[in-house]
Amino acid sequence: MTTTDAASRRLRCALFVDFDNVYIGLQRLDPTAAEAFATHPGHWLSGLESGTDDDGDFTRRFLVRACYLNPSVFSQFRPNFTRAGFSVVDCPSLTQQGKSSADINLVLDAVDALAAPTFYDEFVIVSADADFTPLAHRFRAADRRVTIITASPAASAYRAVADTVITADALTELVLPTTAERLAEAVAAVPVPVVEQTATASATGTGRSAGGEGSTPGGAGTGRRRAGVEEGAPPRSRGIGGGPARALVLRQVRTADRPLNGGSLAQAAQKAEPALASTNWDGAGSFFPWLATAVPEVAASAGFVWDPARFSEADLPGAGGVDLPPLQRQVVEVTEIPNLPTERYRALLTALADDVAAHPFDRPETARRVRDACQAAGEAIGKASVNTVIAGVLYAGLDLAARPDARTIAQTWADNVLGLCRGARMDLTAQDVAAIRTWVGGGLLDR
- Calpha distance 346→441 (Å, rounded): 7
Alpha helices in 52-194 (DSSP H): 71-74, 78-83, 102-114, 133-141, 156-160, 168-175, 179-188
- Per-residue pLDDT of the chain (447 residues), as tens digits, is 444 444 468 899 999 999 999 999 999 888 999 999 999 999 999 989 887 776 667 899 999 999 999 998 899 999 999 999 999 999 887 665 556 788 999 999 999 999 999 999 999 999 999 899 999 999 999 999 999 999 988 887 888 899 888 888 888 888 987 544 444 444 444 444 444 444 433 333 444 333 333 333 333 333 333 333 334 444 444 444 458 888 888 888 877 777 888 888 888 888 888 888 888 888 888 888 888 888 888 888 778 898 877 777 667 766 555 567 888 888 988 888 888 889 999 999 999 999 999 999 998 899 999 999 998 898 888 888 898 999 999 989 899 999 999 999 999 999 999 998 988 888 899 999 999 999 999 999 976
- Calpha distance 208→422 (Å, rounded): 64
Angle (deg, nearest 10), helices 19-29 and 168-175: 90
Q: Give the sheet arrangement for strand 304-306, strand by strand.
A: 260-261, 304-306, 299-301
Q: Other CB atoms closer than 10 Å to residue 276's CB: what's the count?
A: 23
Residue 256: the pLDDT is 76
Residue 196: the pLDDT is 43
Rounded to 5 degrees, φ, ψ at 58 are: -150, 165
Q: What is the largest CA-CA distance in the chain?
A: 85
- Calpha distance 119→128 (Å, rounded): 25
- Calpha distance 210→200 (Å, rounded): 16
Q: Residue 29 carries which side chain, given as an amino acid letter?
A: L
pLDDT in tens, 49-94: 887 776 667 899 999 999 999 998 899 999 999 999 999 999 887 6
Residue 407: the pLDDT is 96
Residue 9: the pLDDT is 83
User: How far apart, in Å, do the first and last CA atoms of the chain sit?
Assistant: 63
Radius of gyration of the chain (CA): 24
Residue 389: the pLDDT is 95
Q: Name the 3-class secondary structure at 217.
A: coil
Residue 8: the pLDDT is 60
pTM: 0.68
235 Cβ partners below 8 Å, 6+ apart?
229, 242, 246, 293, 294, 295, 296, 297
Task: Give which of 272, 263, 258 is closest to 307, Cα–Cα.
Answer: 258
Rounded to 5 degrees, φ, ψ at 147 are: -120, 130
- Classify residue 434 by its DSSP letter: H
